[in-house]
A and B are shown apart, each in its own frame.
Chain A
């Protein structure tokens, strides 16, 4: 069983899942399981008391923000919400300048949710402590992908590669889709992306990344071990995307379509979902759905991640740009 033994360094930046090597990813997932087990058995959790982490969220979030807040509470660390409208950012202070200020204030970490794809990377250039990307524009959402991995790992073998995953919906505007593709193909799994053409990364239609297939129609569902449905990101930049009804008819995971799935196939959705659009609410709550489990593992993976990163960072000392 992996432990957060002192002296084993862990990266202090998580901007994309590539910031962790495969050994670190496995260590993280196993440590999350370990912490969860300890908690369920009534044992104590490690302490990061005395450290303060800033939750810098400039886009709405329920699951991710609460998961980070819950994780920091479990670790006895304190946290502060940086609210852009109530801070100097409302006076036009830049991300870089705000990051330098947080550095000077001696914050141990920054957890950032932003519409800017390069926001967390920019913070990491100017802030010496732990930096975690909690969802950046349409770029990456690494902790979501890692939580999903932990949820699937509970049910299926994920470390040997060879699983087939289907991701359906608005791919081009989805940071979850990008992080999922990066993480799962690195682990040797094959990922099929399906959706209307306007919602697909256009250059991938011709030349997709390794282990990725892209299709503009819903493929035969019986061939997949994992099916991830995505919400249409209507709040982001406009692309020609079908109406909810049109999308549901051709791509939605209806009860009928769900019967085509393999016996042990699992359904994922990063939430929030639109009932009856990309997924039928009954399917979303069915036995094979991991939606609740994704949220639970979201807390434990983030708890494990924060403990590993904060411990390692306090040993390494802080320096911006790392």
Chain B
């Protein structure tokens, strides 16, 4: 017998061809039991379990944020697993993939297992910890890839920086791909970014700020994609930010390289002009780029050349972001603003609703290897898929008020922005989760 019925609203999963206006979803044992059309819903008769009335809402597969920093272990002044996973739920995500640049870095199977267990106890969003490619993220020696995979790691990256040793990266691409994992890189050539703080462009030149050129990203993408091509493996490029980088991806794809990529809400919505007003608050790596870069990111996402939207949620303590721009850490809070921000592109007609959904459901689920199982698949609305839902109110108006974030990171250059469209409820493993 079904325990939860989600009814009303628009049941929408474009990747599976599901679009049921006023339909319903029957949920049992944490899985989707049945999708109902409007007619089937009205002939269902009396339902004994819990009913969630989602009239007027968008009911979609649970959104997955492929790129978040939850600072656990070791940096609880920035975020804890609990505050980060509450932020995920509040922001409309049912699963997140946390990056391994913690203290210590996630390069040991016990750390991966420990995080998964802690997250299960919390019972908020699902957690998929990414593991380091190299021991201690030092970029020289391999972490124990097979043991990490066995412990539950699905994504491997040295995010925070690139993998220094190209031969190590080459080996990681070949071996981890063969074992079914995904290798992801933070594309940055350090001899080009040279400790820069912002995008190298007109704003940096005017304000006398140390710039990071677009080539820093593009050169690193080329390196990784060529290695993937040579080893017949695949590579995922984290947080793409430049039109030059996108051109390099296109060029390497045309040579046969298997490359996927993602873009953040801030690279879709802001440019380096935000640095004028927000300075340290807008310091992020990769940096906010120029208008033409932002346009290329939106266009690339709309066309499907950029597969995934990911927040790169990077919380810091307030005092850390209060420092001068040279000393302030990169990044800001993103989990609780991501959906509302990117939905503006849908409202403006620049991004189809279908792409917006796929980029946060089917696409990240595929990269985590969670899209295809017969039972419990993520990122899709289908019988026997996981009963993870993101229910979104497309009319909900709100203002970005960092003081009200569940995340401990209260810094964002989007502070004070008024948005239309926000997450209403999430369902994880068949249960409505309240942050």
A: residues with CB less than 8 A from B are 94-96, 115-119, 121-122, 137-140, 172, 175, 178, 201-204, 207, 209, 237-238
User: Does B206 sit within 8 A of A, measured CB to CB?
Assistant: yes
Q: Which residues of B contact A138 (CB under 8 A)?
A: 208-209
Identify the closest chain A residue to B324 (Cβ). Answer: A116
B313-348 at interface with A (beta carbon < 8 Å)? 319, 322-327
Identify the closest chain B residue to A174 (Cβ). Answer: B208
Do B208 and A117 touch across chains, with their CB atoms under 8 A apart?
A: yes
Q: Which residues of A contact B204 (CB under 8 A)?
A: 203
Bound-state Cα–Cα, A209 to B206, Å:
9
Do A203 and B325 touch across chains, with their CB atoms under 8 A apart?
A: no
Bound-state Cα–Cα, A145 to B395, Å:
52
> B323's contact among A95, A137, A201, by CB below 8 Å, is which?
A95
A95-B324, A138-B209 are known; give 6 further A-B pairs, CB within 8 A.
A96-B323, A117-B209, A117-B325, A118-B280, A178-B208, A203-B204
Identify the closest chain B residue to A95 (Cβ). Answer: B324
Q: How large is the interface on B (under 10, 10 to 19, 20 to 34, 35 or more residues)?
A: 20 to 34
Q: Which residues of B contact A209 (CB under 8 A)?
A: 206
Do A202 and B324 touch across chains, with their CB atoms under 8 A apart?
A: no
> A204's contact among B205, B207, B208, B324, by CB below 8 Å, is which?
B205
Do B206 and A118 touch across chains, with their CB atoms under 8 A apart?
A: no
Do A121 and B279 touch across chains, with their CB atoms under 8 A apart?
A: yes
> A118's contact among B195, B200, B202, B324, by CB below 8 Å, is which?
B324
User: Does B73 sit within 8 A of A, measured CB to CB?
Assistant: no
B: residues with CB less than 8 A from A are 194-195, 200-202, 204-211, 279-280, 319, 322-327
5 contacts between A and B (CB under 8 A): A116-B325, A119-B324, A139-B209, A201-B205, A203-B201
Closest 9 CB pairs of A and B: A138-B208, A201-B205, A116-B324, A139-B208, A203-B202, A203-B205, A96-B322, A117-B208, A203-B201
Q: Which residues of A contact B194 (CB under 8 A)?
A: 237-238
Q: Report B185 CB to chain A, min CB distance, Å.
A: 26
Q: Which residues of B contact A237 (CB under 8 A)?
A: 194-195, 210
Q: Which residues of A contact B319 (CB under 8 A)?
A: 94, 96
Bound-state Cα–Cα, A29 to B319, Å:
40
Q: Report B287 CB to chain A, min CB distance, Å.
A: 14
Q: Interface centre among A94, A95, A138, A203, by most B CB within 10 Å?
A: A203
Contact of A116 with B326 at beta-carbon distance under 8 Å, contacts A139-B208, A237-B195 already known = yes
Interface SS of chain A: helix, strand, loop or mixed? Answer: loop
Q: Which residues of B contact A140 (CB under 8 A)?
A: 208
Q: Interface centre among B195, B200, B208, B323, by most A CB within 10 Å?
A: B208
Bound-state Cα–Cα, A175 to B206, Å:
10
Bound-state Cα–Cα, A227 to B220, Å:
42
Identify the closest chain B residue to A117 (Cβ). Answer: B208
Q: Which residues of A contact B325 (CB under 8 A)?
A: 116-118
Bound-state Cα–Cα, A114 to B81, Å:
38
Do A94 and B210 touch across chains, with their CB atoms under 8 A apart?
A: no
Bound-state Cα–Cα, A96 to B279, Å:
14
Bound-state Cα–Cα, A238 to B194, Å:
9
Identify the closest chain A residue to B327 (Cβ). Answer: A116
Identify the closest chain A residue to B279 (Cβ). Answer: A118
Q: Which residues of B contact A96 (CB under 8 A)?
A: 319, 322-323
Do A122 and B208 touch across chains, with their CB atoms under 8 A apart?
A: no
Q: Report A215 CB to chain B, min CB distance, Å.
A: 16
Bound-state Cα–Cα, A138 to B196, Å:
13
Q: Which residues of A contact B201 (CB under 8 A)?
A: 203
Identify the closest chain A residue to B275 (Cβ). Answer: A118
Q: Which residues of B contact A172 (CB under 8 A)?
A: 205
Identify the closest chain A residue to B208 (Cβ). Answer: A138
Do B206 and A137 touch across chains, with their CB atoms under 8 A apart?
A: no
Q: Report B206 CB to chain A, min CB distance, Å.
A: 7
Q: Which residues of B contact A117 (CB under 8 A)?
A: 207-209, 324-326
Q: Interface centre among A94, A140, A207, A238, by most B CB within 10 Å?
A: A94
Identify the closest chain B residue to A238 (Cβ). Answer: B194
Q: Which residues of A contact B324 (CB under 8 A)?
A: 95, 116-119, 122
Do B207 and A139 touch across chains, with their CB atoms under 8 A apart?
A: yes
Identify the closest chain A residue to B323 (Cβ). Answer: A94
Q: Which residues of B contact A95 (CB under 8 A)?
A: 323-324
Q: Which residues of A contact B202 (CB under 8 A)?
A: 203-204, 207
Identify the closest chain A residue to B320 (Cβ). Answer: A94
Bound-state Cα–Cα, A133 to B324, Å:
15
Q: Which residues of B contact A115 (CB under 8 A)?
A: 326
Bound-state Cα–Cα, A122 to B278, Å:
11
Bound-state Cα–Cα, A139 to B325, Å:
12
Identify the closest chain A residue to B280 (Cβ). Answer: A118
Do A94 and B322 touch across chains, with their CB atoms under 8 A apart?
A: yes
Q: Which residues of A contact B200 (CB under 8 A)?
A: 202-203
Bound-state Cα–Cα, A122 to B281, Å:
12
Bound-state Cα–Cα, A202 to B210, Å:
12
Q: Which residues of B contact A202 (CB under 8 A)?
A: 200, 205, 211
Bound-state Cα–Cα, A117 to B194, Å:
17
Identify the closest chain B residue to A121 (Cβ). Answer: B279
Q: Report A142 CB to chain B, min CB distance, Å.
A: 13
Q: Which residues of A contact B208 (CB under 8 A)?
A: 117, 137-140, 175, 178
Bound-state Cα–Cα, A139 to B210, Å:
10
Bound-state Cα–Cα, A306 to B159, Å:
49
Bound-state Cα–Cα, A287 to B324, Å:
43
Q: Which residues of A contact B205 (CB under 8 A)?
A: 172, 201-204
Identify the closest chain A residue to B328 (Cβ). Answer: A118
Q: Which residues of A contact B211 (CB under 8 A)?
A: 202
Q: Which residues of A contact B210 (CB under 8 A)?
A: 237
Bound-state Cα–Cα, A95 to B279, Å:
15
Q: Report A249 CB to chain B, min CB distance, Å.
A: 27
Do B326 and A178 touch across chains, with their CB atoms under 8 A apart?
A: no
Bound-state Cα–Cα, A137 to B195, Å:
15
Q: Which residues of B contact A137 (CB under 8 A)?
A: 208, 326
Bound-state Cα–Cα, A137 to B325, Å:
11
Bound-state Cα–Cα, A178 to B202, Å:
13
Bound-state Cα–Cα, A159 to B206, Å:
24
Bound-state Cα–Cα, A252 to B42, Å:
87
Bound-state Cα–Cα, A201 to B211, Å:
10
Bound-state Cα–Cα, A238 to B196, Å:
11
Bound-state Cα–Cα, A207 to B201, Å:
10
Bound-state Cα–Cα, A94 to B280, Å:
14
